[in-house]
């Protein structure tokens, strides 16, 4: 059985924050940020905006393009690491869209690889469980977990949501040609946002301290990152993953129309394209306008590329996500 992407949509917050705006808050400059990252602007959730609202807007646009009624969705996968409810956001989006309880909805937490993992899960549900229509949303509001006094991280992130509708089809029309996915908990220390005041490395009762009850109410610390290590990991692992996905699909880089990477840093995107000997003019990038929007970055860039007419029906896209976990993975998509 095949499955194909039949619609996409995206939504970004209203508030735009430029590099010059950030230079008024921390010791940085537009030149430093744009030369090292390629980022010039980012959107930040503010006022009454919510991640749930952005995700629902992106979903509505994707459903409209796909001409699928929300009630015909079998499954909503919300790929996010920053839900407004600890227990997940997907059922809230389900309610906002007005779907009945016959639509299953749950979250996938895999940071910037979340959307690729969501596509894989959608393909498994279609091929293995006979699902017909699945909404995959990538949405994150990392601005809420950034230390706005830390110039090493606050310049990188933005908020956004993107969505696609994946539908069952005949095998000959298959639009999800192959996948490749990995995770490495060992490298996880390079990038995270952990619960405060807890030693997550200690096994229960083994740290010699008195047992405490009731436990302290927890909150998450801000994002911490070893940028150089994350950079090295991405440049090493992402090309390998794309090559592996291409091989599984029986393709080479020369068969691909577009390279669409998680939008983390233009230097990472350029380095991966160079390693794959991929022409720069076939690399999709909207990082300058939105920064790193985590799980939203691939569907957001895809939506812009489709609506601007860059990506056309029948085009083949090599998409790859990478980030915290560490997690990384690729999908070969025929639009
Ligand atoms: N403005 C000015 N100077 C800065 C800034 C800033 N915003 N940030 C750091 N610096 C300074 C540092 O303090 C350091 O100064 P020093 O030499 O006096 O000590 C100098 O600039 C170099 O800092 P580095 O951290 O070594 O800079 P680097 O070239 O590595 O660039 C960056 C940093 C842009 C973060 C880069 O490492 C990177 O992009 N890494 C990948 C990050 C990434 O992709 N993360 C997201 C993963 S996705 C996810 O899962 C959320």
Using CB atoms within 10 Å of the CB of residue 13, give its burial: 0 to 12 exposed, 13 to 18 middle, 19+ buried: buried
Mean pLDDT of 174-195: 92
192 lines ligand 1 (CB under 6 A): no
Cα(294) to ligand 1 centroid in Å equals 17
Catalytically active residues are: 112, 262, 292
* DSSP-derived 3-state class of residue 323: strand
Edge-first strand listing for the sheet containing 258-261: 176-183, 327-334, 316-323, 258-261
Does the interface ipTM go beyond 0.90? yes
> For residues 169 and 183, what is the distance between their CA atoms, to the nearest angstrom?
30
Of all helices (H) and strands (E), which one includes residue 153? helix 151-154
Q: How far is CA 35 from CA 28, 136, 288, in A?
A: 12, 33, 11
Tell which one of 110, 144, 191, 228 to mutate to probe ligand 1, the residue whose CB is within 8 A of the most ligand atoms.
228
Using CB atoms within 10 Å of the CB of residue 212, give its burial: 0 to 12 exposed, 13 to 18 middle, 19+ buried: exposed
The per-residue pLDDT for range 98-121, each reduced to its tens digit, is 998 899 999 999 999 999 999 999
Predicted pLDDT of residue 213: 83
> 330 and 242 in contact (C-beta within 8 Å)?
yes
Mean pLDDT of 4-33: 97
323 lines ligand 1 (CB under 6 A): yes
152 lines ligand 1 (CB under 6 A): yes
How far from chain centre, in Å, is Cα 86? 19
> For residues 12 and 42, what is the distance between their CA atoms, to the nearest angstrom?
9
Cis peptide before 297 (omega within 30 of 0): no
What is the maximal distance between C-alpha atoms in the chain? 62
Predicted pLDDT of residue 187: 87
Can you name the residues that pair with 16 across neighbouring β-strands?
Answer: 43
Q: Is residue 196 very low, low, confident or very high in pLDDT (cuts 50, 70, 90)?
A: confident
106 lines ligand 1 (CB under 6 A): no
* DSSP-derived 3-state class of residue 6: strand
Return the residue whose CA atom lies nearest to atom 32 of ligand 1.
Answer: 227
Mean pLDDT of 257-269: 97
* DSSP assigned state of 85: S
Q: What is the mean pLDDT of the chain?
A: 94
The single residue listed with the structure tokens 């949303």 is: 137
CB-side neighbour CA atoms (13 Å) of 208: 0
Predicted pLDDT of residue 201: 55
From the list 189, 198, 161, the residue with the least C-alpha distance to 82 is 161
Tell which one of 265, 269, 328 to mutate to probe ligand 1, the residue whose CB is within 8 A of the most ligand atoms.
265
Strands 191-192, 133-141: pairing is unpaired
> For residues 39 and 213, what is the distance between their CA atoms, to the nearest angstrom?
46
Cα(310) to ligand 1 centroid in Å equals 32
* DSSP-derived 3-state class of residue 281: helix
Tell which one of 36, 38, 191 to mutate to probe ligand 1, the residue whose CB is within 8 A of the most ligand atoms.
36
Return the residue whose CA atom lies nearest to atom 36 of ligand 1.
Answer: 227
Return the residue whose CA atom lies nearest to atom 9 of ligand 1.
Answer: 152
> 115 and 303 in contact (C-beta within 8 Å)?
no
Predicted pLDDT of residue 182: 96
């Amino acid at each position: 059985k095949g499955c194909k992407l039949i619609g996409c949509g995206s939504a970004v917050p209203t508030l735009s924050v430029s590099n010059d705006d950030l230079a008024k808050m921390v010791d940085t400059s537009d030149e430093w940020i744009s030369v090292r990252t390629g980022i010039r602007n980012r959107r930040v959730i503010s006022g009454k905006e919510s991640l749930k609202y952005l995700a629902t807007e992106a979903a509505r646009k994707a459903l409209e393009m796909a001409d699928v009624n929300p009630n015909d969705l079998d499954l909503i996968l919300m790929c996010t690491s920053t839900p407004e409810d600890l227990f997940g956001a997907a059922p809230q989006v389900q309610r906002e869209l007005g779907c009945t309880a016959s639509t299953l909805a749950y979250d996938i937490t895999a940071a910037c690889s979340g959307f690729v993992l969501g596509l894989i899960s959608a393909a498994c549900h279609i091929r293995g469980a006979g699902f017909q229509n699945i909404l995959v949303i990538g949405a994150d509001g990392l601005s809420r977990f950034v230390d706005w006094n830390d110039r090493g991280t606050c310049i990188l992130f933005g908020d956004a949501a993107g969505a696609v509708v994946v539908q069952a089809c005949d095998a000959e029309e298959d639009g999800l040609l192959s996948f490749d996915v990995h995770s490495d908990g060992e490298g996880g220390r390079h990038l995270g946002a952990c619960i405060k005041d807890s030693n997550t490395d200690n096994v229960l009762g083994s740290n010699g301290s008195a047992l405490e009850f009731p436990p302290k109410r927890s909150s998450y610390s801000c994002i911490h990152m070893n940028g150089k290590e994350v950079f090295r990991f991405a440049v090493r692992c992402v090309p390998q993953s794309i090559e592996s996905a291409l091989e599984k699909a029986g393709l080479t880089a020369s068969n691909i129309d577009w390279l669409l990477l998680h939008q983390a840093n233009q230097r990472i995107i350029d380095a991966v394209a160079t390693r794959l000997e991929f022409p720069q003019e076939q690399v999709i990038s909207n990082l300058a306008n939105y920064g790193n929007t985590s799980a939203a970055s691939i569907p957001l860039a895809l939506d812009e590329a489709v609506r601007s007419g860059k990506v056309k029906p029948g085009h083949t896209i090599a998409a790859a996500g990478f980030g915290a976990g560490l997690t990384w993975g690729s999908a070969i998509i025929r639009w």
